[in-house]
Amino acid sequence: MLTAEENEILTRVGPGTPAGELLRRYWHPFCVAKELTENKPIKRVRILGEDLVVFRDRRGRFGLVTEHCTHRGASLAYGFVEEDGIRCAYHGWKFDVLGKCLEQPFEPVGSTYKERVCQRAYPVQKLAGLLWTYMGPMPAPLLPRWDVLVRQDGERQLEIRPLDCNWLQAMENTADVTHTYFLHGHTLHLRGVDNPGVRYYYRPFKKYGFKRFEWGLFKYWTYGGEHPESAMGHPLVFPNILRLWEHGALSMHWRVPVDDTHTLIFRVYFRPSPGGTKLEQTDDPPVKYFPSSKTAEGEYTMDSFAAQDQMAWETQGPIYDRTTEHLGASDRGIVMYRQMLREQIEIVKRGGEPTIGIVRDPSKNQMIEIIVHEDGEPEEDENSYSVIPVMSLKIS
């Protein structure tokens, strides 16, 4: 378990908080680009506890600025988008996508005041139909060009899932191997669901293990029972990404903190084409917005993996009180992930740059892949993993 102070350090994400300052060293998706249209080119967004406004000026450039105008604090969400920026609806001050003040109506002729005033702004890039931002100190690292974002030999889809809980509850699940048996397999089995997904996860574990690697934490497992398989594995990409190979497709899930008690999951799903044939790509892939996983009475439906995960994460509370937990051997991956967070937080506190997941070399950013053996076995010898054999499982 953690102390109350340790729990605060890892969960709070606002400006100046230890985890918040760490997360600001990375690029995060925050909006689907095509949500900004000619008729509605402004959207209010919240990320890492900051209230912001994203807009697309008439030149097609994206800007992300603090919501409240630096003049008198009115919301720029009601502003006017023009050729070169956004104009506040209160007094007409105008700012470009970099936050530079372009105009200050009604100030004296010849005034240079606008040269000394700016709106806080963050850089924005569009990739795979999503808008991404970096909120840390300059110079910004490169936006990682993950294969799911840039491959052209298949079809891409986006999914958006909101959560009413702290980001760490979803991310710790990424370091959790064994929850899939009961939360997913057993739950759906008892509901009479029989499909390949249920049959895949509804098998006892033989052993599992965890290992730190270049991009974060790798977890792997082997199944026992009547239909065992060779080792399988999924990486946790630091600090807030799950990467999956599932049913012949590749996906990555970004767990983006909205604030301390809300999270948005941006999932990019890529299914390769047969034979690796290149397909015509769109700048704006199709998007699926997931509806609530709750009934009208406020109960979780538990009829899908997404609903089951949401139940597990949200019922821990808005911010899980980790002073009350009792961790077991199966939680070793969670302990390792927390250690990584603390290590990287300390590096940032000392004025350094995180040593995991930062990309600055353009030659290494053409397309980033994480390679494992075709049969799913870990690349390195099993002895380099923290391997845990599992007791036999008997369910009546």
Edge-to-edge strand list for the sheet holding 124-127 = 27-32, 130-134, 124-127
Statement to judge: residues 191 and 314 lie in one domain: yes
Statement to judge: residues 194 and 109 lie in one domain: no
Task: Answer whether 75's CB lies under 8 Å from 64's CB.
Answer: no
**pLDDT higher than 90, residue 233:** no
Asked if residue 283 belongs to a domain, the reply is yes
Q: What is the pLDDT of residue 245?
A: 84
**pLDDT higher than 70, residue 373:** no
Average pLDDT over the chain reads 92
Statement to judge: residues 258 and 360 lie in one domain: yes
Other residues' Cβ atoms within 10 Å of the Cβ of residue 214: 11
Looking only at the bridges linking them, the beta strands covering 287-289 and 154-163 are parallel
Asked if residue 19 belongs to a domain, the reply is no
Q: What is the dihedral of CA 356, 362, 368, 370, to 10 degrees?
A: -50
* Residue 233 or 144, more confident: 144
pLDDT-derived band of residue 378, with 50, 70 and 90 as boundaries?
very low
Q: For the packed helices 4-11 and 167-174, what is the interaxial angle rounded to 10 degrees?
A: 90
Residue 190 parent element (H or E): helix 187-190
Which CATH number belongs to the domain containing residue 343 in this structure? Answer: 3.90.380
Asked if residue 142 belongs to a domain, the reply is no
Statement to judge: residues 158 and 108 lie in one domain: no
Other residues' Cβ atoms within 10 Å of the Cβ of residue 340: 20
Q: What is the pLDDT of residue 377?
A: 45
Task: Answer whether 262's CB lies under 8 Å from 243's CB.
Answer: no
- When pLDDT is averaged across residues 291-316 and rounded to a whole number, the result is 93
Q: What is the pLDDT of residue 389?
A: 63
Determine what percent of the chain is predicted with pLDDT higher than 90. Answer: 80
Q: How many domains does the chain have?
A: 2
My answer on whether omega of the bond before 196 falls inside 30° of 0, hence cis, is: no
Q: Which of 71, 99, 134 is the last residue of a domain?
A: 134
Statement to judge: residues 52 and 183 lie in one domain: no
Asked if residue 369 belongs to a domain, the reply is yes
Statement to judge: residues 164 and 35 lie in one domain: no
Q: What is the pLDDT of residue 393?
A: 52
pLDDT-derived band of residue 384, with 50, 70 and 90 as boundaries?
low
Statement to judge: residues 95 and 119 lie in one domain: yes
Asked if residue 244 belongs to a domain, the reply is yes
Q: What is the DSSP letter of 216?
A: E
Q: Which of 134, 160, 188 is the last residue of a domain?
A: 134
Which CATH number belongs to the domain containing residue 107 in this structure? Answer: 2.102.10.10
Q: What is the DSSP letter of 322?
A: G
**pLDDT higher than 50, residue 396:** no
Gyration radius of the chain over CA positions: 23
Q: What is the pLDDT of residue 231?
A: 58
Asked if residue 17 belongs to a domain, the reply is no
Statement to judge: residues 98 and 32 lie in one domain: yes
- When pLDDT is averaged across residues 80-85 and rounded to a whole number, the result is 98
Q: What is the pLDDT of residue 387?
A: 60
**pLDDT higher than 90, residue 354:** yes
**pLDDT higher than 50, residue 376:** no
Statement to judge: residues 313 and 221 lie in one domain: yes
Task: Answer whether 12's CB lies under 8 Å from 20's CB.
Answer: yes
Q: Which of 74, 104, 134 is the last residue of a domain?
A: 134
Q: What is the pLDDT of residue 159?
A: 96
- When pLDDT is averaged across residues 32-50 and rounded to a whole number, the result is 97
Statement to judge: residues 152 and 124 lie in one domain: no
Determine what percent of the chain is predicted with pLDDT higher than 70. Answer: 92
pTM of the predicted protein model: 0.92
Domain span at 85: 27-134
**pLDDT higher than 50, residue 217:** yes
State whether residue 165 is helix, strand or coil. coil
pLDDT-derived band of residue 199, with 50, 70 and 90 as boundaries?
confident
What's the Cα-to-Cα distance from 48 to each of 13, 118, 131, 184, 283, rounded to whole Å? 5, 21, 15, 30, 26
Looking only at the bridges linking them, the beta strands covering 121-122 and 62-66 are antiparallel
Statement to judge: residues 129 and 256 lie in one domain: no
pLDDT digits (tens, 9 = 90+) for 219-232: 888 887 766 665 57
Q: For the packed helices 167-174 and 332-349, what is the interaxial angle rounded to 10 degrees?
A: 130
Statement to judge: residues 182 and 211 lie in one domain: yes
Identify the weakest region by mean pLDDT among 43-52, 138-147, 190-199, 306-315. Answer: 190-199
Asked if residue 13 belongs to a domain, the reply is no
**C-alpha–C-alpha distance, residues 78 and 90, integer Å:** 9
- When pLDDT is averaged across residues 7-34 and rounded to a whole number, the result is 98
Asked if residue 374 belongs to a domain, the reply is yes
Structure tokens at 310: 């949401």
